[in-house]
A and B are shown apart, each in its own frame.
Chain A
Amino acid sequence: MATMREIRTRIRSIRNIEKITRAMKLVAAARLRRAQERVLAARPYAEIMQRMMRNLAQGGQGLQHPLLEVREEENIALLVLSADRGLCGSYNTNLLRHATRFLDDYESDRVRLLIRGRKAEQFFQRRRTAVEDAQAMGSGADLVFADVQPVARRLRELFETRRVDAVYVNYQRFFNPIHQEPTTLKLLPLETPAGAEEAAELRDSQETIFEPSAEALLASLLPRYVDTQVYRAVAEAIASEHGARMTSMSAATENAGEMIETLTRTFNRARQSAITTEISEIVTGAEALK
C-alpha cells in the first residue's frame, strides 16, 4: 500500500491535470460554438449556388467545363484534414485510419497527398508516404473563405492540368458536438448538378437572361463552387475537432474527479489506520510502564 505522502502527491498531480483538462474543455466549448455557427453560416451560400447552377444547367444546353470532365482514374489527389494537436479523443486516429484505408486502393505513386493539420503530417511522415504539401490547420478561430482558397485553387489546377483525374477530401464530417464521422468527399470531377427532377423544381421555367453567357457564367461559377466545398469541409473539420476535444476533455475531467475521490478515500483510510496504530502503540507503551 502506498504511503500517505505518495497518495497526497498523486492527488495533487491529478488535481493539476484536472485543472488543465477543465480549461481545455472550456476553450474547446467556446471554439466549438463559433465553429458551429460558421458551419451553419456557410449553408445558405452553398444552397444558393447550387440553385444557380441548376438554373444555368437548365438554360445552357448541356454543361461542358474542364471541372466536370470525367476521366479514367489514373492519378488522384487527396486532401486530408486533421487536427494539429491531440487530446481530442479518437478524432485523429479515426480520421487517419479512414485515410489509410482509402489510400489502400491506390498505388502510392499515383496519389498526390495534400495535408492540413500537423497530426496527419506526422503520421504520413512516419509511414514515409510522400506528401506534396502540408500545412498546419490552425485553431480555426478566425477562418475565412479566403484562407482555403489557395489549397482549393491548387486542387483545381491539378485536375485541370490533368495531372490528376480525381480529387478527394478526407475529413471528419460534423453532425453534432458529440458525433463526427470520417468522410470521403469527392471534390472533382464535379457531379453535374442538374438532375431532371431538380430542373422541374424551377417551375414555370421562365427564360433566364444570362450575361455574358451561360458558358461564361459556368466557367466562373464552378471554380467557386469547388472552393466552397473545400471551405465547408474545413469548417466542418474544425467544428468536429472542437467537438471531439470538448467531449474527451469533459470525460477526462470527470475521470480525474473520480480518481481524486477514490484516492482521497484511500488517503483517509491510510490516515485512520496510522492514527489507530499510533494510539495502540501509545496505549501498549503506557500499559507496559505500569
Chain B
Amino acid sequence: MSDVERTLSLEVVTPDRIVLSETAEYVRAPGALGSFGVLYGHAAFLTELITGELNYRSPDGRPHAVAVSGGFLQVLENRITVLADSAERREEIDVARAAAAAERARAARSLGPSGAQLLELDADLERALNRLRIAAPEDE
C-alpha cells in the first residue's frame, strides 16, 4: 500500500460542534489509564479520556495540540473518533477566559466547599489549567 493510504482519520466532536475532522499520521491521547498513542493499523479500541492534551501529527509532519476534557476515544478501522465534553484546538483557546475560570474556581475553592461541589470545582480548575498549559507557547 502507498504511504498516502496509511493515515488515520481523526474526528473530534463535542455536543456543540465538530471541533476537527482531519487526517493524521499519529495521535496521542490522555487515556483514563494513561496516555497512549495510535498509529495506522491499531486494533479496535474504546477508552475513556481524562482532561488533558490530545496531540496529533498531520501527514505533512506538523504537530497539533487540542485541549480535551472528559470523553471517549474510539479506534475502528483506522478511524479515530473522539467524543469530548469540551475540546479546543490550541489556536482557539481563549487564554483570558481560561485564566478567569481558573481564578473563579480557586476563589470558590478557598471558601471551603465539600463533597460533590468540591469535586466539581477541582474539575473546573483542572480544565482551566489544562487550557492554559496547552495554550502557553512551548519551547520545542
Please give the residue numbers on chain A whose beta carbons come within 8 Å of chain B beta carbons, in ascending order: 38, 41-42, 44-45, 48-49, 52, 55-56, 59, 144-146, 206-212, 216-217, 220-221, 224, 227-228, 231
Q: Are A145 and B15 in contact (CB under 8 A)?
A: yes
In the complex, what residue of chain B is closest to A40 when comparing beta carbons? B17
* A211-B47 contact given A45-B14, A144-B16, CB 8 Å threshold: yes
Q: Are B16 and A42 in contact (CB under 8 A)?
A: yes
Partner of A44, one of B18, B43, B71: B18
In the complex, what residue of chain A is closest to B47 when comparing beta carbons? A211
In the complex, what residue of chain B is closest to A144 when comparing beta carbons? B16
Q: With the chains together, A220 CA to B83 CA distance in Å?
A: 12
**Is B72 interfacial (CB-CB < 8 Å)?**
yes
* A52-B43 contact given A211-B32, A216-B48, CB 8 Å threshold: no
Which residues of B sit under 8 angstroms from A217, Cβ to Cβ?
46-48, 72
Q: With the chains together, A146 CA to B127 CA distance in Å?
A: 13
Q: With the chains together, A59 CA to B31 CA distance in Å?
A: 19
Which residues of B sit under 8 angstroms from A52, Cβ to Cβ?
46, 72, 74, 81, 83
**Is B13 interfacial (CB-CB < 8 Å)?**
yes
Which B residues, 91 to 132, have Cβ-Cβ distances below 8 Å to chain A? Answer: none
Which residues of B sit under 8 angstroms from A56, Cβ to Cβ?
46
B interface majority secondary structure: strand
Which residues of A sit under 8 angstroms from B81, Cβ to Cβ?
48, 52
Q: With the chains together, A224 CA to B13 CA distance in Å?
A: 14
Which B residues, 16 to 63, have Cβ-Cβ distances below 8 Å to chain A? Answer: 16-18, 31-33, 43-48
Q: With the chains together, A41 CA to B19 CA distance in Å?
A: 10
Q: With the chains together, A38 CA to B17 CA distance in Å?
A: 8
Q: With the chains together, A146 CA to B69 CA distance in Å?
A: 12
Which residues of B sit under 8 angstroms from A231, Cβ to Cβ?
15
Least Cβ–Cβ distance between A48 and chain B, in angstroms: 6
In the complex, what residue of chain A is closest to B34 when comparing beta carbons? A211
* A45-B45 contact given A211-B32, A212-B32, A217-B72, CB 8 Å threshold: no
Q: Are B32 and A145 in contact (CB under 8 A)?
A: no
Which residues of A sit under 8 angstroms from B71, Cβ to Cβ?
224
Query: Which of B15, B71, B81, B86 has the most chain A CB within a 10 Å cutoff?
Result: B15
Least Cβ–Cβ distance between B113 and chain A, in angstroms: 15
Q: With the chains together, A217 CA to B16 CA distance in Å?
A: 22
Q: With the chains together, A145 CA to B15 CA distance in Å?
A: 6
Mind listing 21 A-B residue pairs with CB under 8 Å?
A41-B17, A42-B15, A48-B83, A52-B46, A145-B14, A206-B43, A206-B44, A207-B44, A208-B45, A210-B46, A211-B31, A211-B32, A211-B33, A211-B48, A212-B33, A212-B47, A217-B48, A217-B72, A221-B72, A228-B15, A231-B15
In the complex, what residue of chain B is closest to A56 when comparing beta carbons? B46
Which residues of B sit under 8 angstroms from A227, Cβ to Cβ?
15
Least Cβ–Cβ distance between A102 and chain B, in angstroms: 27
Q: With the chains together, A245 CA to B16 CA distance in Å?
A: 24
Least Cβ–Cβ distance between A54 and chain B, in angstroms: 11
Q: Are B16 and A145 in contact (CB under 8 A)?
A: yes
Least Cβ–Cβ distance between A9 and chain B, in angstroms: 49
In the complex, what residue of chain B is closest to A207 when comparing beta carbons? B44
In the complex, what residue of chain A is closest to B32 when comparing beta carbons? A212
